[in-house]
Structure 1
Amino acid sequence: MADDSWTVSNTISGGVFFHQVIQGRNITVALPPKITPALSGLPAPSPTFTGRDAHVEELLDALAPREEQQAVLVAPQLSRVAVAGLAGVGKTELVVQVATRALREPDWFPGGVLFVDLFGYDPERRLSPEQALDGFLRALGIPGEQIPSGLQDLQRLYRSALAAFIEQGRRILVVIDNASSADQAAPLLPTDGITAVLITSRHTLDIDARLHDLNVLDTDASIALLHQALLQARGPADMRVQENPGAAAAIADLCAGLPLALRIAAALLADAPTRPLTSLAQALRTEHSRLDRLRREDRAVRAAFDLSYQHLRTASARLFRLYPLNPGPDLSTESAAALADVDAFTAEEILQDLNRAHLIETFGSAWGRWRMHDLVRLYATDHLKQEGRETLIAARSRLLERYRTLASAASTHLASDSDCPPSLLFTDREKALEWLENERANLVATVTTAHETGAAATAASLAFSLAGFFEQHRYFADWTAVTATALAILQQAGDYQNAGRAMVHLGIAQRELRQFDAAVLLLQTAADAFAEAGDWHGRAMALDALGVARRETREYDECTNAHTTAAAIFSEIQDLRGQARALNNLGSALREMCQPGKAIPVLSQALSIMRATGDNRGDAMTLVNLGAALRETGKFEQAVTLYGEAIPRLRETHDRHGEALALHNRGDALQHMERFSEAIDDHRQAADFFQNSQDYHHLAKALASLAGAYSGDEQHSTAAEISAKAVEIQRQLAHADPAVNTPELARTLCLAAWVRRNGQHDLATGLTMVEESVAFYCDLGAETSPILSTHLRMAQELRAEIFDLLGRHQ
């Protein structure tokens, strides 16, 4: 019976990551066999919540599932509500309360909740739609290395994942907090009409959602909130609100009904259990000023902040003032210790004090991370001027030096070809990666705000330390942002050697984003600049990266020239690892140019050097390339043996992409040996990885090879289905970039036609495909290209065979 892993049955057996699959427009994306509801990101609801009953009921009514939703008949906006109101009015608390209640309702949201704070009004911490979608996809269980970088690709994967949850009866609630514009929020909105969404913003957003305005609390509700907060903090014995309702009303009025201010006022009273409410009310009347960002009835809010700040101990007040020096969205206890120049135990005591005063709050599911409400952060920023310039410079330097030191230490655990031993600051690779993930937003903000914070030297160092992490975990947008900033800093400082290095990194990042024109320009500019400066190592590094970019655009003469020159320079300056990498890239290019006989000795030399220098990851990838060259010369057993050596080494170095390439190549060799079931298994594993990483280019190739393996195994219907998927993906790629991808589309069409000829299945479609392939090769000028002319001749011969078979059948 035919294996239906890539057919319409929507299951994949033995997938690398997933079993259930999501069918998108162009590809299938797999889901984990079991997904835990993504509840960890939803903040805990406050036990002191009052005055919002009508709002809660209205929002719950909008979220409740309806029978007609099963037929997708309900307009999407009925499941979307945008809550708008003044900063600090309690928008987030309202949606958290509603979301918590909705999650407790049976069968409302069995898929869980996705929560994101967009920090829309903070220019330094503001999340882009790409960053928010990245976080959502990770919460849905998709590994980071499989998440794409472009907005459209992220949206496609996100919406496909939500659709799959719906198909499984696992409706999800999406909570989008603190959006500043429709442009920021709209890309995060589901389009299925069933997935529910709650959005908060200080503005009325022009999006397709039900609008819900949230105003300040009235006096009665404000007094009730004050009373509840005191009871929560001090217990039922605290009767001050009931004993002096007039003073409580005065405090409520001075706080302008703003829940944030009321909670701070309650915390002040809780800290001083013998203080009369009249004392606080009098103080609020006389100690106030305007909070810059709060435009409406803000004077009492500033007064509440003033009093809360004045109530702090000296050490707490100092850390409160220093907190905004951290450019990112949150702060670890250890980073706070660096800011304040105290030990971690003392820092935690201070942070707890600030937390009790409602001036910061805990952040995330793991203990030891803190964040400050944006209004409070603005207030704290105003008080930075109380610190002397030298104090601020010293505090910022301590924090940034911590980031720089630990990022550099973490990078030593990621590099497999470095002469530097792993740093002892992290016990192992996993701990290093955990720190990098937790601090990623802070590290990116440290670099990208370097011009404002005076952290130019640290920013450049951080950019280089983070390059390996960003590349291996596919944070290409972050990599581009930090490297572009570092490049500008280095050029301004006149550090042209490191500027060239940054230019190479930026070119590689843009190459990974398939922005080949920009990548080629950057890398060529870097190579020329290095040559002019007499930096031959830098020139060789840039030329080698340039050669890879040229290979992607099939400019093979320029590609081989770049790699040959790079290898010669590395040899001259005795950089053996650089020489081996350049030779490996040269051999890979020669193989793609249909010159495997020339590639084998080049790759063998590269492999010998890599083994002598201990470059484990380079060794593994060279084995893959050498295996491919041997396969193309008919030495299939040798090729399979080399792939068998490479695959476990790639796993050891955590190179999932390289492992998938090795599996794909081994599958091709196994097909030639007619070991079709093994080939199918390898191709499916490779395709699983490529589909979930949204690597369409390699996915199409893997699917084409998988179709060939199924055809060899005489599972012709399955082969035809899979080959059609490969063709569809290649069509989309060729539409997006005809110059680069049309040759591969022609090749894939020819293979799909061969599958049909081999199984004598749907020959009419096969003839149409091969005729289209011939037309593409002719349009591409195959007569001027030895490689394309060979492919054209094969397509023409296949067309004649299919035409003959059709005549016989008729």
Structure 2
Amino acid sequence: MSDDRTGGATSNTITGGISFHAVIQGRDITVQLPPTITAALSGLPAPASAFTGRDTHVEQLLEELAPVTDGAGGQRTVLVSAVSGLAGIGKTELAVQTAAQALKQSDWFPGGVLFTDLAGYDPERCLSPERALEGLLRALAIPGEHIPGGLEDRQRLYRSVLAAYANENRRILVVIDNASTTGQAAPLLPTDGTTAALVTSRHTLDGLDARLHDLDTLDGTASIAVLDQALRHARGHHDTRFTDDAEAAATIARLCAGLPLALRIAAAVLAAAPTRPAASLAAALQAEHTRLDKLARPDRAVRAAFDLSYQHLTPDQARLFRLLPLNPGPDLSTDATVHLAPTSPDQAEELLQYLAEAHLIEPALAWGRWRMHDLVRLYADEHGHTHATTDQRDSARTRLFTHYQETTQAADTHLDTLSGPRAPHFPDRAAALQWLDTEHANLTATATAAPALGHPSTATSLAFTLVRYLDYRRYFDDSITLTTTALAICREFGDRHGEGAALNNLGNALQGVRRFEEAIEAHTQAATVYRELGDRHREGAALNNLGLPLREVRRFEEAIEAHTQAATVYRELGDRHGEGQALNNLGGALYGVRRFEEAIEAHTQAATVYRDLGDRHGEGTARMAWAIAHNERRLRRS
């Protein structure tokens, strides 16, 4: 069968095939191209004027698109580059900007560019591969009556046309935008070994045999630049509202969380109101519950972009997506997700991995940890409140908080320097510390947020069980925050024992940041509370701690009194370890007022106690202090 047309039209010669009216099936297809490039091969959307912060990605993509010059017979290492990322992250713009630069390069793509938007996430506009191929074939000047009706036949013809262009040194760049699945994009990919393709998707399409690129948010500097460039483009270079108010610009950039779509909408909001100051928009975006409402224009909105991704989730995926914002901290482990969902570890990882492939969450630096973009978190939380009953949201939060409490308690047993039982949850101290280090931000965020969420016991539990860890890592500011919160809760509920413990811990943390007078006040109040409760042991601990900041402000006589009382209490109660600590501290206070003989005696007694207990570290500390006092006495005598 042959079809010859005049005027530069396409001429097709088909052998070994069968013709069914307008449907052509062929084994061997020879395509003769028209001598000029059609206008449809210049159909790339116009690049945005405000584009920054993507130089590295553009360079990488251009390197992959560049023609082969190494004598490898034209066979390329990278034929397809796939860019994936969150809705609104700028995938399409990156592809368009890269393609525009590639077209400017001499002899890279003399055949032009094919661009198709598959609208893969929009159920009303989504293109099937068949429909997309029809449009691409028409753009390649294939008459409609010669376009087959089936996917495989259209795919064969399309790839043959691309190969023919490549053989005539009219290489084409194919840009496939907004694909939702591998199955939607794969039939549109060239296979001739020369034609290049760029694919964008909200999902990581690892089935395309493509070089994968994950697009992240913009940093603060690039975000501010996008705001400024977009506003100046809309209003002219004289509009300097973002540069005039750097603080407001930085706030808007932070609240948009580096999402280009949100940044462009924010700039458009200001462009629509020429007299509105940037500070006004910054203030309007502060409220989390209305931020997504503010980031909207009649033709685009952040929420609408997220909607299309959300609609593609299965019920289980959607439920987990809605529950993830319940975690108050910056990221979440797979293990914690098991308790949040609840589900098995394998199922939790599978669900999380899918959400990551859809770029609704992001893998953290360490495998097994996941985080959410700030605006996605707000979006998911909105849906979470809407489905709170069906998702059993309150129960999910309780399970998560209980997991944090119980695991922290288990880890704390491994930090106790005294002999005693260790929770089997962790094999050793190193593993417990590693978990605490990893979850530190989540645990402090949970303890801080818990009271307002109706979980005051979580706040007090974490505040008390994290004391040893926070002191060991010298996170004194966190300790002050948590113990202050716990103190307020204990006083509100009339928990006098908890009040005393919180005051004692607070005093230690305040001493760590050298706020000695406040530390003295906290320990004094703690000792008073325990005295009123008749809890002599804890009163002794508070007195022993009180002496330390008293020494720092050189109130040595008061310190001596506090340590002496503490040693007496411990001795009467038979707490030998506490007695050793108080005696050693007493020796330090006596040293401060040059009462060296008494200091030596106190350190000697402390060393004896520690030796009897088998505490080599304590004994060494006491003997070191004894040596210092002894040497000072000798120098004084000489």
Q: Aligned with 2:474: secondary structure?
A: coil
What is the aligned partner in structure 1 of residue 475 from structure 2?
475
1:266 aligns with one of 162, 178, 184 = 178
Pair 1:439–1:239, CA change in 2 (3 A): farther
> Partner residue of 2:461?
461
Is residue 2:339 matched to residue 1:338? yes
Q: How does 1:472-621 map to 2 (within 5 A)?
A: 472-621=472-621
Are 1:51 and 1:217, in contact at CA under 8 Å, matched by a contact in 2?
no
- Distance in structure 1 (CA, Å) of the matches to 2:379 and 2:183: 21
Distance 1:451 1:393, change over 3 A: same
Aligned twin of 1:347: 348
Instruction: Determine the structure 1 residue equivalent to 2:440.
Output: 440
Q: Which residue of 2 aligns with 1:631?
A: 631
User: 1:366-377 alignment to 2 at 5 Å?
Assistant: 366-377=366-377
Report the Cα offset of residue 389 of structure 1.
8.4
Larger CA deviation: 570-579 vs 339-348: 570-579
Is 2:270 the partner of 1:358? no
How many Å apart are 1:414 and its aligned residue?
Answer: 2.0
* Secondary structure, aligned partner of 1:292: helix
Spell out the pairing of 1:689-700 with structure 2 (5 A cutoff).
none
Contact 1:268 1:357 in 2 (8 A): no
SS at match of 1:312: coil
1:405 aligns with 2:317: no
Tell which has more relative contact order, 1 or 2 (C-alpha 8 A, sep 6+).
1
8 Å contact from structure 1 (residues 330, 370) kept in 2: yes
> Which residue number corresponds to residue 382 of structure 2?
382
User: Once the two structures are superposed, what CA deviation does each residue of 1:39-94 show, in whole Å capped at 9, x if it has no partner?
Assistant: xxxxxxxxxxx9589855xxxxxxxxxxxxxxxxxxxxxxxxxxxxxxxxxxxx64
**How far apart, CA to CA, are the structure 2 residues paired with 1:267 and 1:604?**
78
State whether residues 179 and 185 of structure 2, in contact with CA within 8 Å, keep that contact through their aligned partners in structure 1: no
- Shift of the 519–52 alpha-carbon distance from structure 1 to 2, 3 Å rule, reads farther
Distance 1:352 1:443 in 2: 24
Partner secondary structure for residue 266 of structure 1 = strand
Q: CA–CA distance in 1 between the matches of 2:611 and 2:364?
A: 46
Amino acid at match of 2:303: R
Counterpart residue type for residue 266 of structure 1: N
Q: TM-score, normalised by structure 1?
A: 0.45
Structure of greater Rg: 2
Question: C-alpha separation between the residues in 2 aligned to 1:494 and 1:100?
Answer: 63
Deviation at 1:412, TM superposition (A): 2.0
Q: 1:221 to 1:428 in 2, by over 3 A?
A: same
Relative to structure 1, is the Cα distance of residues 623 and 478 closer, same or farther in structure 2, using a 3 angstrom cutoff? same
The alpha carbon displacement at 1:231 in A equals: 13
Distance 2:596 2:326 in 1: 57
Q: Return the offset for 1:558.
A: 0.4
In the TM superposition, what is the alpha-carbon distance from 1:592 to its structure 2 partner?
A: 2.3
**SS of residue paired to 1:554:** coil
Counterpart of 1:415?
Answer: 416
Distance 2:368 2:581 in 1: 42
Report the alpha carbon displacement of residue 382 of structure 1 after superposing the two structures with TM. 0.8
Q: Distance in 1 between matches of 2:56 and 2:94?
A: 23
Question: Partners in 2 of 1:267 and 1:337 — Cα distance?
Answer: 31
- CA separation of 1:290/1:512 partners in 2, compared to 1, >3 Å: closer, same or farther? closer
Please say if 1:301 is aligned against 2:302. Answer: yes
CA offset digits 1:726-770 (Å, max 9, x no partner): xxxxxxxxxxxxxxxxxxxxxxxxxxxxxxxxxxxxxxxxxxxxx
**Is the CA contact 2:463–2:483 (under 8 Å) kept in the aligned structure 1?**
yes
Distance 1:370 1:52, change over 3 A: farther
Give 1:376 deviation, angstroms: 1.0
CA distance in structure 2 between the aligned counterparts of 1:271 and 1:497, rounded to whole angstroms = 64
1:731-810 paired onto structure 2 within 5 Å: none
Tell me what 2:242 maps to: none
In structure 2, the CA distance between the partners of 1:220 and 1:615, relative to structure 1 (3 Å rule), is: closer
Return the letter of the residue paired with 1:401.
Answer: T
Q: Give per-residue Cα distances to partners, 1:97-139, cap 9 Å, x unaligned.
A: 59999xxxxxxxxxxxxxxxxxxxxxxxxxxxxxxxxxxxxxx
In structure 2, what is the Cα distance between the partners aligned to 1:594 and 1:422? 43
Alignment CA distance shift 1:412-1:623 (3 Å): farther
1:608 CA drift (Å): 2.1
**Residues 201-216 of structure 1 correspond to what in structure 2 (within 5 A)?**
none
User: Offset at 1:320?
Assistant: 0.6
Corresponding position of 2:330: 329
Q: Return the offset for 1:502.
A: 1.1
Letter in 2 for 1:608: T
Amino acid at match of 2:438: N
Q: Which amino acid aligns with 1:478?
A: D
Q: State the Cα deviation string for residues 778-805 of structure 1 (Å, max 9, x = none).
A: xxxxxxxxxxxx99xx9xxxxxxxxxxx
What is the CA distance between 1:616 and its match in structure 2?
Answer: 4.8
Structure 1 residue 232, shift from structure 2 partner = 14
Residues 241 and 411 (structure 1), Cα distance of their counterparts in 2 relative to 1, 3 Å cut: farther
Using the TM superposition, name which of 568-577 and 293-302 deviates more: 293-302
Q: CA deviation at 1:273?
A: 6.0
Shift in Å at residue 591 of structure 1? 1.8
What do residues 344-387 of structure 1 show as CA deviations (whole Å, max 9, x unaligned)? Answer: 111100001111111101111x2111101111111110112213
In 2 relative to 1, CA 607–291 (structure 1 residues): closer, same or farther, beyond 3 Å? same
User: Structure 1 400/219 Cα, relative in aligned 2: closer, same or farther at 3 Å?
Assistant: closer
CA contact (8 A) 1:566 1:579 kept: yes
Q: Which amino acid aligns with 1:493?
A: F
Equivalent residues in 2 for 1:6-45, closer than 5 Å: none
Mind listing any 5+ residue stretches in structure 1 that lack a counterpart? Answer: 1-49, 57-92, 102-213, 246-264, 281-288, 635-671, 673-789, 795-810
How far apart are 1:623 and its partner, in Å? 2.7
Q: Residues of 2 paired with 1:327 and 1:98: CA distance?
A: 36
Give distance in 2, aligned partners of 1:496 and 1:625: 36
1:230 and 1:337, CA in 2 relative to 1: closer, same or farther beyond 3 A? farther
Q: Kindly provide the CA deviation profile for residues 4-29 of structure 1, in whole angstroms up to 9, marking residues without a partner as x.
A: xxxxxxxxxxxxxxxxxxxxxxxxxx
Output the amino acid matched with 1:464: F
1:582 partner letter: A
Cα distance change of structure 1 residues 398 and 560 upon mapping to structure 2, 3 Å threshold = same
**Shift in alpha-carbon separation, 1:326–1:406, aligned structure 2, 3 A:** same
How far off its partner does 1:339 sit?
0.5
Report the structure, 1 or 2, having the larger helix content.
1
The answer to whether the 8 A contact 2:292-2:303 is kept is no
1:309 corresponds to which letter in structure 2? Y
What residue identity is the alignment partner of 1:396? R
Contact 1:231 1:238 in 2 (8 A): no
Tell me by how many angstroms 1:393 deviates: 2.3
> Whole-Å Cα distance in 2 between the matches of residues 581 and 628 of structure 1?
17
Q: Is the 8 A contact 1:447 1:459 kept in 2?
A: yes
Structure 2 unaligned spans of 5+: 1-45, 62-88, 101-113, 122-127, 137-176, 189-201, 203-288
What does 1:8-87 correspond to in 2, within 5 Å? Answer: 55-56=51-52
Structure-2 separation of matches of 1:480 and 1:414: 20
CA contact (8 A) 1:544 1:582 kept: yes
**What displacement does 1:305 show?**
2.1
Q: 1:331 is matched by which residue type in structure 2?
A: L
Deviations 1:279-326 (A, max 9, x none): x9xxxxxxxx99735423285432332232232122211111110110
SS at match of 2:343: coil
Q: Read off the aligned partner of 1:414 and give its amino acid letter.
A: L
Which letter does structure 2 place at the counterpart of 1:335? Answer: A
Contact 1:570 1:579 in 2 (8 A): yes
Q: Given the superposition, is the C-alpha separation of residues 220 and 446 from structure 1 closer, same or farther in structure 2, using an over 3 Å criterion?
A: closer
User: 1: distance between equivalents of 2:394 and 2:47?
Assistant: 45
* Secondary structure of the corresponding residue to residue 370 of structure 2: strand
